[in-house]
Amino acid sequence: MGRMESGDRMVLEAVAEFETSHIPAFSSSLCSTSSNLGQISIRSLAISTTSASKTLIYAGSQCGAILSFVFDPSQHHTRTDTDQDPGQRLSSTKTSSSRCVRVGNSPVESVIVVAEIDRVLFLSDGFLHLVDRYLSSPVQKLVFLKGVSSVAQKLSFTDTMVSQTDSVSEDGSKKAWERVGRISSRYNGFSVFTNYPQFAAIAGRKLVLCEMRSAGRVNDAPGAIGRVHDYGGFTVTVFREFQNFDAVTTMAWIDHSVIIGTASGYSLFSCITGQFSSIFSLPESSGPPLLKVMHRRKEVLLLVDNVGIASNSLGQPVGGSMIFRHVPEAVGQISMYVVVFGDGKLDVYHRRTGVLVQSIFCGERTGCSVIAEDDGGNEEFLACAVSDK
């Protein structure tokens, strides 16, 4: 991965690394049409734990393909032969299989694992696509959504996920959502307290809310008045649409709120009332908005250059801000730590104290950087990609 700076505490340990050009399933799928044969950049990442011993890692490329490989921690052992080819080292000792499917020539902008229906949802060329978790079946395009620029899976901070002692409840946000729930527990007749996976997509100037269900589970949704699209084995239902969403570059759907980031600032949209409220504006001189959902602390970290401001699902400040030594290009989390990439370094900060505890130099690589972690698993693994590595 890189070298640690002296005096750092060990939080992250590199257990595997690879370059896409060294993965046969990946490079052979792309190089026949890619003009950049040697550098197949990674644009997006996702991680999913399938069992106690296996973790699936997905990498979406700049050239329109998605790769998956299986990481088995039980096979991990320390290697000192640093001269060995990284791709061979990974495939021979860390992974049991790898697959690759090509979608087109446009970048895979986002990858989301929908474990409940054993599918992977990803965004490319303005469309959302679905494929099985092992990339073994044909890719299915969600053609009813066009011009998609951003997508986010619904997450929950309240109900069973929040205890009476959780820090989120200290400012009354839990009680506030309980009051909202009593007023209206359905969107347009569709239950908001559902165990089925839901996602939000910005399609053109619309915010579209959708739900995914396995086959045979359509009729048990009383009041489902949205359009149902059957994809054989599962369905996607559009149950609400909202207008006037312009220039959204990042977003998160939490409980009844969609937090969005644009060049002008961060806003909160209530799916119950249909109203916008400003969280805060961005200075004209600041960089593009970047937000990260922090599952463990039930927060959303909103970035303003090198400052991270924590907010709850109501858009209210909570837990204090964090100051990073570089402007983050990507943000992740693992256990009680916030991990950011910037200026060629992977920095690890303690979330509560804001102290930098570890820094790893990742080399002079350029291109898109992205971090992903296993949100639904045991929070032991984190993946970082810079360019094709």
Phi, psi of 183 (to 5 degrees): -70, -45
- A 10 A CB-CB count for 193 gives 10
Cα dihedral sign, 106-107-109-111? positive
pLDDT in tens, 243-273: 999 999 999 999 899 999 999 999 999 988 8
Boundaries of every domain in the chain:
40-73+93-157+190-217+225-246
Q: Out of 2.40.50.140, 2.130.10.10, 3.40.50.300, 1.10.3720.10, select the CATH number for domain 40-73+93-157+190-217+225-246.
A: 2.130.10.10
User: Is residue 256 within 8 Å of 272, Cβ to Cβ?
Assistant: yes
- Please give the Cα distance from 311 to 313 (Å, whole number): 7
Q: What are 127's two structure tokens? A: 């469309």
> Average pLDDT of 82-105?
58
Q: What is the pTM of this model?
A: 0.82
pLDDT digits (tens, 9 = 90+) for 274-308: 999 999 999 999 999 999 998 878 899 999 999 99
Q: Is the predicted pLDDT of residue 8 greater than 80, yes or no?
A: no
